[in-house]
């Protein structure tokens, strides 16, 4: 029966979409929201998922200052560090020193020959390792700072000269080059390229040729040399990369072309031909069309200063940094497989009694083994997002597990109301009375404290008792609930009602919504706490929104929200009082005119979270509004709202638009995000202000310092849809976010037929 119920629900939605389309001509569609004409439906096929595996060598900082890295024929990893040579066996995580005693000291280069011999360049000479035997090589004069080979050609270099391995012996070559050897590479055909502080030397047939002029290189300080698959020689310098072919400069790559930092430290082609460029701020990969992609921050690297890169037989990148070794690994996944991974993490860490969905606290920043549950101001809203996700999971699959968990989430949201012992007020969060740590502890305000707060915010409400013990003695509950909590609750009730609830549960939703909304109406459209006054933020009162200039910033959104709440309540209860109040607020209080300002707010009043709250709200109005003149207004507002989000960066809003109109939008952006989002849920700090390839701007949100390029999902802190994705500084390494940000749009896209 439930599957039949959702079939009829879907038919109802399709008919509603036809009504909406009547108000949107072809010309308006072309001027409105950006359409993804190239992709309308994505078939879920395997893709490559990257993830980070980091290694600390030891507690000694010098051990973790890794200068060079190589893999041998048994997939063992070799590194040269500021303190010596280390090796990690395949499948192990422990690093063992290779050279001990008096011979141990700074090391500079490691290299594996085709026959399996590992060459080690150190402070006191060149060593070789083969068949578990370490041998010091005769010939090269220490220190040996660079080693290179290709085919049968092998060279060792340092401040004291150049040596070539010929018939098992190291012969010194008489090349007149600068002593500041930084890198070297051979083409295997008798040509040796050496990067130095004086430029790049081409050594061939006993002769040298120096390139150092700015019409040949970007600068003379050469730190890296690598050959691209097409034979181009990439020369990394202070300032960027000079791409050369046939000994001529062809192209320059600088921060203007996507380098995160102008100091290039290493260059290595990957097995698939992508050029990996190490810098003092991460790794930038360039494809065959020179399109860059960036990996930096602790999300991807143990240290942002990259020294060397090597690849294993599976195409995984092993990266030497000043903070340890990073492996950026690859595995084949489908979106369905990724969903299983995220869902497992969600159930394991992020659902706490009595079915609250929230982030967790990391006692040791970044250490996922140290997690513990924590409260959040928006536990109700974020559990509402989880309820929406489970509702769409049920609608897409008919899973009884999804239905049962959606019911548990709804019961928790009802608990937030009943725990307060009031007629209709609901809490932000609840925690067991046994918890010894919560956010926003109860406090006292001195007159001086209050004066400070009132000067900053004249509407400030000094709530001294934020946490109260429930009558049952089991729970502590947090008050001063806000408008965004109300939005999150009503949004989730709407989705549960439409896509997962049975008839018994629908009646529960009607009763619960009636209880909350009636209390708000009784209090002149305010959410009133148990102290008898409205909370700091939860105000929808005509008297305040229309009459108090201090509420001007909230006037359009809060008017829009209340119209949606009333329309939702009327749509599910058919109680005429809600329709009468809806019309009264429009005709007598000007709430529809207020709401029209949604897309035209003063820039000082626009915050990114508002866009998400608007995305929560639009579908309720489109589902239940039947008056053509009102629906036309909402349609015009929706088109402008989506037009102002041309990057499709907010997947919840993309889905809301499709629900309202029946038109799929920003499909490619949505799929790209779902693929690119990291599996790691730690909210790693990402500081884009360190990058040289972006500009700091005050757009799209005036109050935030942002960058002028939208970072992909892989280069953001763990996403919550209320956070500004353009923020220049993001992250909190003591937090591990719940993966609902991914699961919700995934299952909604599955339901909408965007993902097969």
CB-based contact 705:753 (threshold 8 Å): no
Residue 755, sorted as left (phi over 0), alpha (psi -120 to 50) or beta, turns out to be beta
pLDDT exceeds cutoff 60 at 100: yes
Alpha carbon distance 218, 264 (integer Å): 11
> What pLDDT is recorded for position 723?
96
Residue 57, sorted as left (phi over 0), alpha (psi -120 to 50) or beta, turns out to be alpha
> What pLDDT is recorded for position 247?
85
Structure tokens at 653: 């809003």
The dihedral built from the CA positions of residue 748, 752, 755 and 756, taken in this order, carries a sign that is positive
Give the mean pLDDT of the chain.
Answer: 94
- Work out the percent of the chain whose per-residue pLDDT is above 70: 95
Structure tokens at 246: 């046939």
pLDDT range class, residue 39, cuts 50, 70, 90: confident
Strands (E), 375-449: 429-432
pLDDT digits (tens, 9 = 90+) for 109-138: 999 999 999 999 999 999 999 999 999 999
> What pLDDT is recorded for position 2?
40
DSSP helix/strand/coil, 496: helix
CB-based contact 265:236 (threshold 8 Å): yes
Cis (ω within 30 of 0) for the bond into 700? yes
Residue 52: phi, psi to the nearest 5? -105, 135
Q: Is residue 583 part of a domain?
A: yes
- Helical (H) or strand (E) element with 697: strand 696-697
Mean pLDDT (whole number) for 634-648: 97
Mean pLDDT (whole number) for 659-688: 97
In the numeric block, the tokens 């935030």 are attached to 704
Structure tokens at 583: 């019309």
Alpha carbon distance 72, 89 (integer Å): 10
What lies within 8 Å, CB to CB, of 225 at 6+ separation is 183, 184, 185, 193, 195, 200, 233, 234, 235, 236, 267
Mean pLDDT (whole number) for 384-413: 98
> What pLDDT is recorded for position 414?
98
Q: Is residue 324 part of a domain?
A: no
Q: Is residue 663 part of a domain?
A: no
Alpha carbon distance 87, 80 (integer Å): 9
Cis (ω within 30 of 0) for the bond into 466? no
Mean pLDDT (whole number) for 164-185: 97
Number of domains into which the chain is organized: 1
pLDDT range class, residue 78, cuts 50, 70, 90: very high
In the numeric block, the tokens 């490691």 are attached to 110
Spell 383-416 as b/e; 16+ CB within 10 A means b. bbbbbbbbbbbbbbeeeeebbebbbbbbebbbbb
Maximum Cα–Cα distance for the chain, whole Å?
97
CB-based contact 135:123 (threshold 8 Å): no
pLDDT exceeds cutoff 90 at 27: no
> What pLDDT is recorded for position 33?
40
pLDDT digits (tens, 9 = 90+) for 250-267: 999 999 999 999 999 999
Mean pLDDT (whole number) for 214-240: 96
What residue numbers bound the domain in which 553 lies? Answer: 1-31+540-644
CA distance readout (Å), 575 to 329, 514, 527: 57, 10, 21
DSSP letter for each residue of 152-197 = TEEEEEETTEEEEEETTEEEEE-----S-EEEEEE-SSS-EEEEET
Alpha carbon distance 484, 482 (integer Å): 6
Count of residues in the chain: 756
> What pLDDT is recorded for position 17?
42
Beta-bridge mates of residue 373: 360
Q: Is 5 exposed, middle or buried (0-12, 13-18, 19+ CB in 10 A)?
A: middle
Global pTM value: 0.93
What lies within 8 Å, CB to CB, of 270 at 6+ separation is 276, 285, 311, 315, 317
pLDDT range class, residue 38, cuts 50, 70, 90: low
CB-based contact 511:503 (threshold 8 Å): no
CA 384 to chain centre: 21
Q: Is residue 74 part of a domain?
A: no
CA distance readout (Å), 742 to 206, 233, 300: 60, 41, 19
DSSP letter for each residue of 50-88 = EEEEEE---S-HHHH-EEEEEE-TT--EEEEESS-EEEE
Q: What is the 3-state secondary structure (H, E, C) of 96-147?
A: EECCCHHHCCCEEEEEECCCCCEEEEECCEEEEEECCEEEECCCCCCCCCEE
Mean pLDDT (whole number) for 427-444: 96
DSSP helix/strand/coil, 369: helix
- Helical (H) or strand (E) element with 47: strand 47-55
Alpha carbon distance 725, 716 (integer Å): 7
pLDDT digits (tens, 9 = 90+) for 739-752: 999 999 999 999 99
What is the DSSP-derived secondary structure letter of residue 712? P
Listing from the earlier edge strand, what are the strands of the sheet with 240-245?
A: 222-227, 233-237, 240-245, 248-253
Could you tell me whether strands 306-311 and 125-130 are parallel, antiparallel, or unpaired per DSSP bridges?
Answer: unpaired
pLDDT digits (tens, 9 = 90+) for 494-532: 999 999 999 999 999 999 999 999 999 999 999 999 999
Q: Is residue 604 part of a domain?
A: yes
DSSP helix/strand/coil, 323: coil
> What pLDDT is recorded for position 37?
45
CA distance readout (Å), 539 to 330, 528, 579, 591, 594: 49, 9, 20, 14, 15
CB-based contact 146:157 (threshold 8 Å): yes
Mean pLDDT (whole number) for 82-106: 97
Q: Is residue 92 part of a domain?
A: no
Cis (ω within 30 of 0) for the bond into 728? no
Q: Is residue 18 part of a domain?
A: yes
pLDDT range class, residue 25, cuts 50, 70, 90: very low
Opening angle at CA 688, ends 682 and 692, nearest 5: 145
Alpha carbon distance 484, 461 (integer Å): 17
CB-based contact 309:319 (threshold 8 Å): yes
Q: Is residue 754 part of a domain?
A: no
Structure tokens at 80: 């040269």
CB-based contact 97:60 (threshold 8 Å): no
Q: Give the chain's end-to-end CA distance (angstroms, integer).
A: 24
Alpha carbon distance 337, 154 (integer Å): 45
């Amino acid at each position: 029966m439930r599957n039949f119920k959702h079939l009829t629900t879907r038919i109802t939605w399709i008919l509603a979409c036809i009504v909406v389309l009547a108000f949107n001509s072809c010309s308006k569609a072309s001027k409105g929201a950006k359409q993804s004409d190239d992709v309308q439906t994505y078939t879920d096929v395997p893709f490559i998922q990257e993830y980070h595996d980091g290694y600390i060598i030891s507690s000694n900082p010098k051990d973790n200052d890794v200068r060079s890295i190589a893999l041998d024929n048994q997939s063992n990893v070799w590194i040269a560090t500021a303190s010596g040579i280390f090796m990690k066996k395949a499948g192990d995580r422990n690093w063992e020193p290779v050279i001990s005693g008096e011979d141990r000291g700074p090391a500079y280069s490691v290299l594996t020959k085709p026959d399996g011999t590992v060459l080690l360049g150190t402070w006191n000479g060149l060593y070789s390792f083969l068949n578990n035997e370490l041998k010091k090589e005769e010939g090269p004069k220490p220190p040996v700072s660079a080693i290179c080979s290709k085919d049968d050609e092998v060279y060792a270099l340092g401040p004291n000269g150049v040596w070539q391995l010929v018939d098992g012996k190291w012969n010194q070559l008489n090349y007149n080059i600068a002593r500041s050897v930084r890198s070297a590479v051979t083409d295997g055909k008798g040509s040796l390229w050496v990067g130095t502080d004086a430029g790049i030397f081409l050594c061939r047939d006993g002769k040298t040729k120096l390139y150092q002029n700015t019409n040949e290189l970007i600068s003379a300080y050469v730190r890296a040399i690598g050959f691209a698959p097409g034979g181009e020689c990439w020369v990394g310098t202070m300032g960027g990369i000079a791409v050369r072919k046939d000994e001529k400069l062809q192209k320059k790559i600088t921060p203007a072309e996507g380098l995160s930092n102008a100091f290039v430290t290493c260059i290595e082609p990957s097995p698939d031909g992508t050029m990996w460029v190490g810098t003092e701020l991460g790794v930038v990969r360039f494809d065959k069309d020179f399109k860059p992609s960036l990996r930096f921050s602790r999300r991807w690297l143990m240290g942002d200063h990259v020294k060397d890169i090597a690849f294993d037989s599976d195409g995984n990148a092993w990266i030497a940094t000043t903070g340890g070794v990073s492996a950026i690994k690859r595995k084949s996944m489908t979106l369905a497989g990724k969903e299983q991974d995220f869902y497992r993490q969600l159930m394991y860490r992020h659902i706490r009694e009595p079915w609250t969905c929230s982030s967790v606290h990391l006692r040791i920043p970044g250490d996922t083994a140290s997690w513990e549950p924590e409260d959040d101001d928006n536990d109700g809203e974020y559990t509402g997002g989880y309820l929406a996700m489970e509702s769409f999971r049920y609608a897409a699959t008919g899973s009884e597990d999804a239905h049962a968990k959606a019911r548990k989430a709804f019961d928790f949201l009802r608990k937030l109301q009943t725990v307060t012992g009031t007629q209709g007020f609901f809490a932000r969060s609840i925690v067991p009375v046994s918890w010894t740590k919560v956010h926003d502890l109860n406090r006292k305000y001195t007159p001086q404290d209050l004066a400070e707060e009132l000067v900053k915010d004249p509407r400030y409400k000094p709530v001294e008792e934020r946490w109260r013990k429930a009558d049952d003695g089991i729970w502590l509950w947090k008050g001063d609930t806000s408008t965004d909590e109300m939005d999150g609750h009503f949004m989730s009730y709407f989705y549960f009602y439409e896509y997962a609830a049975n008839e018994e549960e629908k009646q529960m939703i009607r009763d619960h919504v009636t209880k909350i909304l009636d209390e708000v109406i009784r209090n002149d459209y305010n959410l009133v706490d148990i102290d008898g006054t409205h909370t700091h933020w939860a105000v929808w009162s005509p008297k305040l929104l229309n009459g108090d200039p201090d509420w001007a910033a909230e006037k359009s959104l809060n008017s829009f929200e209340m119209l949606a709440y009333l329309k939702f309540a009327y749509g599910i209860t058919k109680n005429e009082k809600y329709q009468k109040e809806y019309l009264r607020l429009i005709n007598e209080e000007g709430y529809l005119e207020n709401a029209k300002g949604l897309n035209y707010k003063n820039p000082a009043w626009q915050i990114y979270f508002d866009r998400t709250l608007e995305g929560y709200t639009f579908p309720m109005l489109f589902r239940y509004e039947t008056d053509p003149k009102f629906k036309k207004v909402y349609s015009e507002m929706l088109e402008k709202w989506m037009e102002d989000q041309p990057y499709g960066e907010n997947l919840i809003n993309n889905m809301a638009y499709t629900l309202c109109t029946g038109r799929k939008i920003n499909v490619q952006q949505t799929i790209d995000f779902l693929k690119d989002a990291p599996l790691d849920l730690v909210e790693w700090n990402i500081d884009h202000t360190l990058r040289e390839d972006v500009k700091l701007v005050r757009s799209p949100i005036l109050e935030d310092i942002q960058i002028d390029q939208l970072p992909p999902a892989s280069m953001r802190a763990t996403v919550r849809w209320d956070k500004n994705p353009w923020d220049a500084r993001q992250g909190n390494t003591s937090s591990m976010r719940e993966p609902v940000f991914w699961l919700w749009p995934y299952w909604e896209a599955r339901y909408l037929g965007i993902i097969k």
